[in-house]
Amino acid sequence: MLLVGINPGIRSATIGHHFAGYSNRFWKLLYEAGLVPEPIGTEDDRRLPEWGFGVTNLVPRATPGIDTLRPEEYAAGVRVLRRKVRRFRPKLLVFVGVSLYRAIFAKKGPIALGAQDETFEGARVFVLPNPSGRNANFSYAEMLAAFKALAACAVAPKRGARRRRPR
């Protein structure tokens, strides 16, 4: 699966790792939801392919929030994301943030977390809440439930997992 964030925060850009904000709960949620077999942190982002994950941002420019992102940055980001998805062919494209999903698919009104009806360049689409500490729209319990739902529909086997042979 390919995890897509909207853009790096200042700390992420400074240290060169994804989801690095001090109050970001992304790494804790990955582990608690069972998506990774051990606790990992922002410095471990390069290990995500071990468990079948890729990670990218829609917009490469670092900002303290999304307020200053320009429409042309979103449009350019969508073009690049389309190329990445066509190249790497993930089965599942995970948008980390409702605002990101809303921007890409031009959605209005309430957005349900979880699997969506749309596809993106052939990949199924899943929406997670943004795990930033700045996101007051979802409680930790709601975030964890969404990450667990992702774990339930994950298509890539985890490292070391044994596949059951049919009987």
For the chain, domains (ranges, CATH) are: 2-153 (3.40.470.10)
Q: Kindly report the CA angle at 36 between 31 and 41, in degrees rounded to 5?
A: 60
Residue 160 has pLDDT above 80, yes or no: no
Sign for the CA dihedral angle at 61, 25, 42, 81 comes to: negative
- 3-class state of residue 53 by DSSP: coil
Q: What is the pLDDT of residue 136?
A: 67
pLDDT band at 108 (very low <50, low <70, confident <90, very high): confident
**Burial letters for 119-136: b for 16+ Cβ neighbours within 10 Å, e otherwise?**
ebeebbbbbbbbbbeebe
Q: What is the pLDDT of residue 159?
A: 44
Beta-bridge partners for 124:
92, 119
Which contiguous run of DSSP H or E holds residue 107?
A: none
Give 122's contacts (C-beta < 8 A, 6+ positions apart): 85, 86, 89
Q: What is the pLDDT of residues 23-66, one digit of tens each?
A: 899 999 999 999 999 999 999 999 999 999 999 999 999 888 88
The total of other beta-carbon atoms located within 10 Å of residue 92's CB is 19
Q: Which of 101-110, 117-126, 156-165 has the highest mean pLDDT?
A: 117-126
Mean pLDDT of 148-152: 97
Question: Both tokens of residue 115?
Answer: 């699997």
95/98 Cα distance (integer angstroms): 7
Q: What does the mean pLDDT of the chain come to?
A: 89
